[in-house]
Amino acid sequence: MYTIRDVARLAGVSVGTVSNYINGKENVNEDKIE
């Protein structure tokens, strides 16, 4: 099972960015989502 830290590391973004995306926050830049 992957952790939020694993996802952030693999995606090259911060843990906060992954958390914001998972929780539906509006402040995630479009270029980070893929």
> Is the Cβ–Cβ distance between 15 and 8 less than 8 Å?
yes
Residue 1 belongs to a domain:
yes
Residue 17 phi, psi dihedral angles, 5° rounding: -65, -45
* AA letter at 14: S
Residue 11 belongs to a domain:
yes
Measured from the Cβ of residue 15, the count of other Cβ atoms closer than 10 Å reads: 13
Residue 5 belongs to a domain:
yes
Report pLDDT for 31. Answer: 64
pTM given for the model: 0.70
Number of domains the chain is built from:
1
Tens digits of residue pLDDT in 1-34: 999 999 999 999 999 989 988 888 777 666 666 6
Burial of 26 (0-12, 13-18, 19+ CB in 10 A): exposed
The greatest distance separating any two alpha carbons of the chain, rounded to the nearest whole angstrom, comes to 27
